[in-house]
């Protein structure tokens, strides 16, 4: 597992430069609640037909930040982005709330601050 | 298509695979993981099983009159909730005296009815447990 | 005037006994747009793993994410913890883990095949495959003590040893299953009415499989070489005879054939394991508290399953992230539906082998 | 007297046939299957269910469907005109199609659509069967057909075409797309409930009686051939049901019209010139 830190401003460019759709497999978008109202967002990729090659791009952000969308680069990212929005209550460009949780359920269950 | 056709026809003359369930009982495997059973005499009250149980289906709660077991110093009583149990047998593996104090049978638990009062009385025990901790 | 009709499939539907809703926008019976909703029964397992349970019992919690691939969930989690604790398990335990993993794959694939047949309106085939699936369920119960929730994996090894009578029974039953599977192979390729329902229906091209990050049998049926068993090193899949099964058509028929071939390959692997089971302990005690982060991937019957685990040196974990196969394939699903007939939609859906209890974890 | 009793008990006989068929089908699939009287237990249970009227026309049309079908079966038993029987049966099907269109459920609409398309496929064949009998006997009367000898040999191609119709009318694979419970949850019957669904359920039994009574006409006055034909075809229908998947509506139309009409035409041409 290789971890590379990026910032929210550059993440799109980095992923655009890195992602070759026949070489890399986009696994998922992962969130991680940190202390002091911060969270970590991870974009996880793995290489096709390679032994244990996982690359994680991560950025540490505040809950108020808006995460840029990568759906135009990787269409299947939409589903993870919407999950991130539902579970953490952060904003991701172009991803609405409400795919995983209903309105009357506990909101943002995984975020460290809202509970 | 014709093999299915022939199969459907030959199946007419075979004994069906399904059984008349409530009338013909199901044969239980000997090694089936079923209810947990407890032998009070052998228990040394180390509470390892209680700590190991993932869903918390085993509780040792103090009673007013301690049972006749000299190893039981705090006056604890074993309680087991078969409807919470996931039959993983972690408790049996944690037990220092398996087969005597705690073992797994191959019996299945019966469906809970209202009379079993699995919820309320169990919640009461859980509250009691919290108080003693 | 309104030109299209909306046909709902779910959230309760005969063809799919799981809470998911697809809303198809149709012209006559041709689907031109798909909308899906999956969040009917969110169970909050990820949160429970970090707030309610200690790390050593989470293996049993995540096994309850899904009934059909329970073994893959608990195995992935356990391997992640073993990675964090730095323990090495015995070779025999590794072999037994693969054995149960492959048995699970066999019965899960059989369930999917039977369900696909039922949704194509072929009830007899459904009953036939379901009946034969009992052979596998039986040996699973003998091996682990339960038919569905195996609870076989524990941190440091496996819970039960394989004795010689069970090994013999497994070999006998698997031989029988192999004969039956060869029979299905004939049925799936030669039945005229099934070919009308399956050939050329619900196709996914190789390029689309790359673009939508398709996984599992869905991707392999389109010719994409993705099988996590090929990409991991913590279990010795290459030693027991793993071979990747692919097809190039990408339609329902191709998916069925990929699944059938995988069953045959799994049977072969199980036989190899039983014949060459190494001597040794099945359980090694691993001590410590997890610290750090680990990503573990496994090939569940439906595709790639990913666990991300982060520990902080205490008994409670910081984060358990479960990426389930069906969840990751939803964009690909929605893409395939467009342009198909509504009459084919249930069969297409079943051929994806969706597992909504995984998705709503 | 026997005729009156037969007419009165026609739905029950159909129900027994349906129950037996469920048992037979279960055995073909290596199962035990429900008890023989399961359809009647179902009926008993349905009485307890709340009868929900979506709209009055829908309910009335459903009941009309049942009554017309009963009259159709009565006409066959009484030996009336075969052509009338076929057209009256058409009317009963139209009732259920209208019922399907009268509610808002999309499944019901698709079911009605499919029912209409299926009608286009099988109706010409039914009429050709009637014409075939007319060309042999010079009369459409069922009583005349029953008095004369078996026509199975001379109408054999029409008989083959009729077997396809049976598969559609009895809603059996491969031609059961009209009901297709995995796709459209039963089609036209989806909005009926409680006691009103019983009428639709009984209409299904009457459909059995109707189809098998038409089949027996091929045996004419030969009772043994009639019984043999009934048993053989009963088995065949279920075997085919167990060996095929449900094909789509467009395939159904193509196959039934192409093969069925051709077979029927050849038979009629043969009757006219040979």
Reference C308, options C83, C121, C142, C145; nearest CA is C83
Shortest distance between the Cα of B19 and any Cα of chain D, in A, equals 7
What's the mean pLDDT in B94-98? 84
Instruction: Inspect the structure and tell me whether chains C and A have 3 or more CB pairs less than 8 Å apart.
Output: yes
Instruction: Tell me the chain C residues in contact with residue B52 when contact means C-beta distances shorter than 8 Å.
Output: 57
State the average pLDDT over residues B80-90.
85
Given this model, what pLDDT does residue A112 score? 65
Percentage, residues of chain D above pLDDT 90? 8
Core vs surface per residue A19-54: b (16+ CB within 10 A) or e: beeeebbbbbbbbbbeeeeebbbbbbbbebeeeeeb
Distance CA(D209)–CA(D69), nearest Å, equals 10
pLDDT at A8: 79
Dist CA D157 CA D129 (whole Å) = 10
CA atoms of B104 and B35, how far apart (whole Å):
6
The answer to whether the CB atoms of C225 and A49 lie below 8 A apart is: yes
Q: Are the CB atoms for A82 and C22 separated by under 8 Å? A: no
* Residue A21 predicted with pLDDT over 50: yes
What pLDDT is stored for residue D94 in this prediction?
92
Q: Which residue has the tokens 């809950």?
A: A63
Relative to beta strand C5-9, strand B58-62 is unpaired
How far, in Å, CA of C307 to CA of B132, rounded?
37
Specify which residues C305 forms β-bridges with: C298
Nearest residue to D173 (alpha-carbon basis) of D110, D237, D120, D122? D237
B17, D30: Cβ pair inside 8 Å?
Answer: yes
| For D32, nearest residue in chain C (alpha carbons) | C127
What is the C-alpha separation between A89 and A64, in angstroms, rounded?
A: 9
Mean pLDDT, chain B, as a whole number?
A: 81
- Closest Cα of chain B to D32: distance in Å? 6
Structural domains of chain C sorted by starting position, each given as residue range(s) with its CATH number in brackets? 5-359 (1.10.645.10)
Residue B72 has a pLDDT of 65
Query: Which class for A115: exposed (0-12), middle (13-18), buried (19 or more C-beta within 10 A)?
Result: exposed
Q: Which residues of C touch B3 (CB under 8 A)?
A: 183, 186-187, 190
Best of A35, A43, A44, A76 to substitute, by most chain C Cβ atoms within 10 angstroms, is: A76
Subunit partners of chain B (3 or more CB pairs within 8 A):
C, D
Q: What are the pLDDT digits (tens) for C277-303? A: 888 888 888 888 888 888 888 888 888
Sheet with C303-312: list strands edge to edge.
C291-300, C303-312, C317-323
Model pLDDT, residue B41: 79
B-chain residues within 8 Å CB-CB of C180?
A: none
* Model confidence band, residue C59 (pLDDT cutoffs 50, 70, 90): confident
**Angstrom distance (rounded) from CA A41 to CA A57:** 8
Neighbours of chain A (3+ CB pairs under 8 A): C
Taking only the tens place, the pLDDT of each residue in D163-196 is: 888 888 888 878 887 777 777 777 788 888 888 8
Residues C29, C342: Cα–Cα separation, whole Å: 5
Distance CA(C206)–CA(C219), nearest Å, equals 8
Q: How far apart are CA C181 and CA C331, in angstroms?
A: 31
What's the gap in Å between the CA of B43 and the closest CA on chain C? 23
Report CB contact under 8 Å: D246, C193.
yes
Strand, helix or coil for residue A7: coil
In angstroms, the CA A67 to CA C105 distance is 38
Mean pLDDT of chain A: 81
Q: Which two tokens stand for residue A3?
A: 């971890």
D31·B20 Cβ contact <8 A: no
The domain segmentation of chain D, as residue ranges, is: 51-273
The alpha-helical segments, DSSP class H, found in B26-95 are 48-52, 90-94
Q: Is the pLDDT of residue B70 over 70?
A: no
Name the residue facing B11 among D28, D32, D240 (closest C-beta). D28
In angstroms, the CA C197 to CA C252 distance is 9
Residues of C in contact with A27 (CB under 8 A): 297, 304, 306, 323, 328
What φ, ψ does residue A60 adopt, rounded to 5°?
A: -100, 125
Residues in D 3-32 with any Cβ partner in C closer than 8 A? 28-31
Q: Which residues contact C12 (CB under 8 A, 6 or more apart)?
A: C19
Give contacts of D 225-264 with B, CB under 8 A.
238-240, 242-244
C147 touches chain B (CB under 8 A): no
Mean pLDDT value across residues D45-69? 87
Please answer whether residues C323 and C300 qualify as being in contact, where contact means their C-beta atoms are separated by less than 8 angstroms.
no
**Inter-chain touch B31–C124, beta carbons under 8 Å:** no
Q: How many CB pairs under 8 A join B and D?
A: 39
Instruction: State the smallest CA–CA distance between residue C98 and chain A in angstroms.
Output: 18
Inter-chain touch B8–D238, beta carbons under 8 Å = yes
The mean pLDDT value of chain C amounts to: 85
Closest approach of D53 to chain C, Cα-based (Å): 22
- pLDDT score of C204 more than 70: yes
**Per-residue model confidence (pLDDT) at position B67:** 60
Are the CB atoms for C341 and C28 separated by under 8 Å? no
| CA separation for the pair D76, D50 (Å, rounded) | 35
The torsion angles phi and psi of B112, rounded to 5 degrees, stand at -75, 140
C238 in contact with A at a CB cutoff of 8 Å?
no
Q: Which residues of C touch A1 (CB under 8 A)?
A: 293-295
Here the ipTM equals: 0.84
Which of B106-120, C232-246, D188-202 shows the lowest per-residue confidence on average (mean pLDDT)?
B106-120
Could you tell me how far CA A53 lies from the centroid of its own chain?
19
pLDDT at residue number A114: 44
- Give me the percent of chain D exceeding a pLDDT of 70: 100
As a residue count, chain A comes to: 115
Residue that wins the pLDDT comparison between D152 and D117? D117
pLDDT tens-place string over residues A77-106 = 888 888 888 888 888 887 777 777 777 777
Q: Are C249 and C223 in contact (CB under 8 A)?
A: no
Domain coordinates in residue numbering, chain A: 2-66
Q: Two tokens at C242?
A: 């793993």
User: Domains, chain B, ranges and CATH?
Assistant: 42-108+120-133 (3.30.70)
Q: What percent of chain C has pLDDT over 90?
A: 3
Residues of D in contact with C345 (CB under 8 A): 183
Point out the residue among C57, C159, C192 whose CB comes nearest to the CB of B54: C57
| Chain C partners within 8 Å of B32 (Cβ) | 141, 145-146
Specify the pLDDT at position A22: 83
Q: How far is the alpha carbon of C125 from chain D, nearest alpha carbon, in Å? A: 8
D130 vs D162: CA distance, rounded Å = 11
Question: String of b and e for D98-134 (b: at least 16 CB within 10 Å)?
Answer: bbbbbbebbbbbbbbbbbeebbebbbbbbbbbbbbbb
Q: How far is C17 from chain A (nearest CA, A)?
A: 18
Provide the pLDDT for residue C53. 85
The answer to whether C5 contacts D109, with C-beta atoms less than 8 Å apart, is yes
**Which H, E and C letters describe chain C, residue by residue?**
CCCCEEEEECCCECCECCCCEEEEEEECCEEEEEEEECCCCCCCHHHHHHHCCCHHHHHHHHHCCCCCCHHHHHHHHHHHHHHHHCCCCCHHHHHHHHHHHHHHHHHHHHHHHHHHHHHCCCHHHHHHHHHHHHHHHHHHHHHHCCCCCCCCEECCEECCCCCHHHHHHHHHHHHHHHHHHHHHHHHHHHCHHHHHHHCCCCCCCHHHHHHCCCCHHHHHHCCCCCCHHHCCCCCCCHHHCCCCCCCCCCCHHHHHHHHHHHHHHHHHHHHHHHHCCCCCCCECCCCCCCEEEEEEEEEECCEEEEEEEEEECCCCEEEEEEECHHHHHHHHHHHHHCCCEHHHHHHHHHHHCCCHHHHCC
Could you read off the pLDDT of C126-175 as tens digits, one per residue? Answer: 888 998 898 998 888 888 888 888 888 888 888 888 888 888 888 899 99
CB pairs under 8 A between B and C: 53
What is the reported pLDDT for C229?
84
Q: What is the mean pLDDT of residues D249-267?
A: 88
- Under the banding of pLDDT at 50, 70 and 90, the label for residue D68 is very high
| B10–D contact, CB cutoff 8 A | no
The model's pLDDT over C206-222, given as tens digits with 9 standing for 90+, comes to 888 888 888 888 888 88
Strand bridging mode A66-67 / A91-92: parallel
pLDDT tops 50 at residue A115? no
Distance of residue C106 Cα from the nearest chain B Cα, in angstroms: 20
Residue D91 is predicted with a pLDDT of 92
């Amino acid at each position: 597992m290789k971890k590379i830190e990026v910032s929210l401003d550059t993440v799109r460019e980095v992923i655009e430069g890195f992602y070759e759709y026949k070489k890399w497999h986009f696994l998922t978008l992962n969130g991680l609640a940190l202390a002091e109202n911060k969270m970590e967002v991870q974009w996880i990729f793995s290489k096709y037909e390679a032994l244990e090659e996982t690359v994680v791009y991560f950025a540490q952000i505040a809950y108020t930040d808006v995460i840029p969308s990568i759906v135009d680069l990787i269409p299947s990212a939409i589903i993870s982005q919407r999950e991130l929005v539902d579970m953490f209550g952060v904003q991701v460009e172009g991803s609405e709330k409400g795919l995983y949780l209903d309105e009357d359920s506990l909101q943002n269950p995984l975020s460290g601050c809202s509970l | 298509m014709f093999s299915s056709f022939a199969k459907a026809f030959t199946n007419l003359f075979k004994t069906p695979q399904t059984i008349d369930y409530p009338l013909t009982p199901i044969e239980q495997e000997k090694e089936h993981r079923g209810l947990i059973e407890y032998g009070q005499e052998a228990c040394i009250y180390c509470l390892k099983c209680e700590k190991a149980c993932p869903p918390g289906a085993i509780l040792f709660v103090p009673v007013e009159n301690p049972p006749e077991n000299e190893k039981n110093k705090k006056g604890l009583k074993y309680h087991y909730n078969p409807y919470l149990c996931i039959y993983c047998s972690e408790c049996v593996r944690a037990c220092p005296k398996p087969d005597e104090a705690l073992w797994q049978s191959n019996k299945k638990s019966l469906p809970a009815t209202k009379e079993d009062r699995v919820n309320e009385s169990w919640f009461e025990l859980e509250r009691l447990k919290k108080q003693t901790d | 005037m309104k030109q299209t009709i909306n046909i709902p499939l779910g959230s309760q539907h005969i063809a799919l006994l799981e809470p998911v809703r697809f809303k198809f926008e149709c012209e006559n019976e041709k689907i031109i747009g798909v909308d899906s909703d999956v969040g009917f029964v969110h169970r909050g397992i990820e949160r429970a793993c970090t707030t309610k349970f200690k790390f050593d019992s989470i293996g049993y919690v995540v096994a309850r994410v899904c009934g059909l691939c329970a073994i893959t969930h608990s195995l992935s989690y356990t391997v992640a913890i073993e990675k964090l604790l730095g323990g090495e398990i015995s070779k025999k335990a590794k072999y037994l883990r693969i054995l149960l993993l492959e048995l699970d794959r066999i019965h899960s694939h059989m369930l999917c095949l039977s369900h696909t047949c039922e949704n194509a309106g072929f009830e007899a085939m459904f009953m036939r495959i379901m009946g034969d699936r009992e052979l596998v369920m039986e040996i699973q119960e003998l091996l682990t003590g339960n038919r569905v929730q195996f609870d076989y994996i524990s941190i440091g090894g496996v819970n039960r040893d394989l004795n010689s009578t069970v090994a013999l029974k497994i070999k006998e039953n698997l031989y029988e299953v192999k004969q039956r599977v060869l029979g299905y192979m004939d049925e799936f390729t030669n039945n005229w009415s099934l070919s009308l329902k399956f050939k050329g229906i619900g196709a996914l091209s190789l390029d689309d499989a790359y673009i939508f990050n398709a996984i599992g049998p869905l991707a392999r049926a389109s010719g994409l070489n993705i099988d996590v068993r090929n990409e991991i090193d913590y279990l010795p899949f290459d030693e027991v005879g793993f071979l990747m099964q692919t097809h190039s058509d990408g339609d329902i028929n191709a998916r069925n054939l990929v699944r059938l071939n995988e069953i045959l390959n799994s049977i072969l692997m199980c036989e190899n394991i039983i014949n060459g089971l190494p001597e040794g302990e099945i359980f090694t005690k691993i001590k410590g508290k997890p610290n750090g982060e680990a990503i573990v991937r496994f090939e569940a019957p439906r595709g790639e399953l990913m666990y991300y685990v982060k520990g902080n040196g205490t008994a409670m974990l910081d984060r358990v992230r479960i990426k389930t196969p069906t969840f990751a394939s939803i964009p690909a699903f929605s893409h395939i539906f467009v342009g198909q007939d509504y009459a084919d939609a249930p069969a297409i859906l079943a051929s994806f082998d969706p597992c909504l209890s995984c998705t709503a974890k | 007297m026997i005729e009156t009793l037969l007419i009165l008990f026609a739905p029950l006989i159909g129900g027994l046939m349906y129950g037996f068929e469920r048992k037979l089908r279960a055995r073909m699939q290596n199962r035990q299957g429900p008890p023989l009287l399961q359809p009647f237990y179902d009926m008993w249970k349905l009485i307890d269910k709340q009868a929900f009227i979506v709209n009055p026309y829908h309910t009335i049309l459903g009941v009309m469907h049942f009554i017309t079908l009963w009259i159709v079966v009565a006409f066959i038993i009484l030996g009336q005109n075969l052509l009338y029987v076929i057209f009256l049966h058409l009317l009963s099907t139209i009732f259920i199609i209208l019922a399907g269109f009268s509610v808002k459920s999309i499944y019901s609409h698709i079911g009605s659509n499919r029912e209409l398309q299926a009608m286009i496929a099988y109706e010409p064949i039914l009429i050709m069967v009637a014409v075939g009998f007319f060309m042999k006997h010079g009369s459409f009367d069922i009583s005349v057909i029953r008095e004369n000898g078996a026509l199975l040999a001379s109408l054999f191609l029409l008989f083959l075409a009729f077997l396809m119709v049976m598969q559609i009318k009895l809603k059996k694979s491969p031609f059961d797309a009209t009901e297709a419970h995995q796709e459209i949850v039963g089609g036209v019957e989806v909005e009926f409930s409680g006691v009103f669904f019983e009428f639709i359920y009984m209409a299904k039994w009457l459909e059995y009686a109707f189809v098998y009574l038409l089949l027996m006409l091929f045996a004419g006055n030969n009772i043994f051939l009639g019984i043999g034909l009934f048993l053989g075809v009963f088995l065949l229908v279920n075997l085919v049901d167990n060996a095929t998947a449900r094909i789509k509506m467009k395939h159904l139309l193509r196959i039934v019209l192409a093969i069925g009409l051709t077979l029927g035409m050849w038979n009629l041409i043969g009757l006219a010139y040979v």
